[in-house]
Structure 1
Amino acid sequence: MAETDTDKNDKPEEPGKKKGGGLMTQLVLAVVLGCTAFGTVWFMPARSSGTAECPAADAAGTKVTMLPELPLSELTFIEMEPMIITLGEDASSRNLRIGITLETAKADQESILFAQPKLRDAFTGYLRALEVADIEDPNSIIRLRAQLQRRAEVILGNQSVRGVLITDFVIR
């Protein structure tokens, strides 16, 4: 009897034979994807400003606008009295001694000196709410500076305080 097409198709596949691509197909796919990624980055249009801009965000995720740089002759630094804050609620509480200096334009110096009691109150309220573990973290100084900056901006406006410098930081 003659073999028909249906008999050939009904035969099971050999167990050693695989369907799909082999090693060569995977290599070709890897090279094509690599070339695509490289081409995307290489031919991406460059920014026209000449300087790289990184959109900054504060802890809440809102966009922070960067102030234009002022010449050093137009800047001044206002040193606040050192603050001693009690951390924790129990009798064995620890103290934080912190010195803060505000960077500002000379034109804004008077308004910042006038508002210093409000700034101290806002800074004290924030620092008092911190836990000792929050402060002992090596990266906490960055968050601390950003939070103090944010409180200064709320009280004085976004353009007044250009930076908060922590000049003294002791936990006892």
Structure 2
Amino acid sequence: MAEAETPDEEVTPKKKSKLPIIIGAVLALVLGGGGFYATWSGMILGTHEEKVAEVTASPLPDIAFVPVEPIIISLIPGSSSRHLRFTSQIEVNKPMVDEVTLLMPRIMDIMNGYLRAVDVTQLEDPSALIRIRAHMLRRIQIVTGEGRVRDLLITEFVLN
């Protein structure tokens, strides 16, 4: 009997070459590095030195800072903290320094009164400092009159 011929080699599909992927990755790295160098060295967007030379600072406004005496407030018994130490400075227009300094006892009075009225839980809240600062600044501006005080800078706010 004649045996049917069986092919010795099985038909297998050819594997695709990985060469295009490797070439694509190498080209991406080379082009990315070249683009970075061209931008960094100033070939595309101008030199770094030109940009530094272009930056000019505008003159500072005519301001001064009036220091406020530190305030220490006793907190209610039973709270996690016993005292609040508060130190600040008031940013004023330079011609108004003497007038704001003259009103410092009134400023201290409203700051003391406000800080004593604030609830201890609000004082312990980290985000409350922004609200406290805004409320105190508004009260200071009312006492000193419009146009004298520009800002209130809190330099120390310690609960212990």
**TM-score band, normalised by the shorter chain?**
0.5 to 0.7
Kept after mapping to 2: 8 A contact 1:98/1:170: yes
What secondary structure is seen at the aligned counterpart in 2 of 1:158?
coil
Q: How many Å apart are 1:72 and its aligned residue?
A: 2.4
Q: Does 1:160 align with 2:144?
A: no
Measure the CA separation in 1 of the matches of 2:135 and 2:82: 21
- Once residues 142 and 164 of structure 1 are traced to their aligned partners in structure 2, the CA distance between those partners, rounded to angstroms, is 11
In the other structure, the counterpart of 1:114 is 102
Contact 1:87 1:130 (C-alpha < 8 Å) held by counterparts: no
One of 124, 132, 135 as aligned partner of 1:136: 124
Q: Give, as a single letter, the amino acid of the residue that structure 1 aligns with 2:102.
A: F
RMSD: 1.9
The residue type equivalent to 1:83 in the other structure is I
Amino acid at match of 1:169: F
Q: Give 4+ residue runs of structure 1 displaced > 6 Å after superposition.
A: none
Number of matched pairs: 102
User: What's the TM-score once normalised by structure 1's chain length?
Assistant: 0.56
2:60 matches 1:72: yes
Deviations 1:103-147 (A, max 9, x none): 011111001100000000000000001121101111111001101
5 Å-filtered alignment, 1:1-172, equals 72-88=60-76, 90=77, 94-172=82-160
User: What is the identity percentage for the equivalent residue pairs of Structure 1 and Structure 2?
Assistant: 40
Correspondence for 2:23? none
Runs of 5+ consecutive residues of structure 2 not aligned to the other structure: 1-58
By percentage of residues, which structure has more helix? Answer: 2
Could you report, residue by residue, the CA deviation over 1:145-169 in whole angstroms, capped at 9, with x for unpaired residues? 1011011011011211100000001
Q: Secondary structure at the match of 1:104?
A: strand
Task: Measure how far apart 1:86 and its partner are.
Answer: 1.4
